[in-house]
Amino acid sequence: MAAAPRFLTLADVAEVLNTSSAQVYALVRRGDLPAIKIGGRGQWRVEGSVLEDYIQRMYAETAQFVDQHPFVESDQERAPDQV
């Protein structure tokens, strides 16, 4: 069984996060997800451990958001993406 690669392409990261490559590129360009740019064509790579750190950070930020915005009965009437 081969070890996981140290670096992931943006497409690999998009697959892990179940989102688009364009969204991952936006995260990288905003500085939310640290990455390196390699080669003459400027291909982006994200280190696997950095991706895991990002995921843990998002869990923490989400928990903080939930604490600051408690669920109330009127939230049930909203669509899940509007909460």
Residue 76, pLDDT score: 61
Third-level CATH fold of 7-68: Multidrug-efflux Transporter Regulator; Chain: A; Domain 2 (1.10.1660)
The CA distance from 65 to 68, in Å, is 5
Q: Select from 21, 16, 25 the least CA-distant residue to 48.
A: 16
Residue 71, pLDDT score: 86
Instruction: Kindly report the pTM of this predicted structure.
Output: 0.78
pLDDT averaged over every residue in the chain: 91
Buried b (16+ CB within 10 A) or exposed e, 15-25: eebeeeeeebb
pLDDT band per the 50, 70, 90 thresholds, residue 72: confident
Residue 40, pLDDT score: 85
Residue pLDDT, tens place only, 37-58: 999 888 999 999 999 999 999 9
* pLDDT exceeds 80 at position 16: yes
* pLDDT exceeds 90 at position 74: no
* Beta strand segments in 1-83, E: 7-8, 36-38, 43-47
CA angle 51, 52, 57 (to 5 degrees): 95
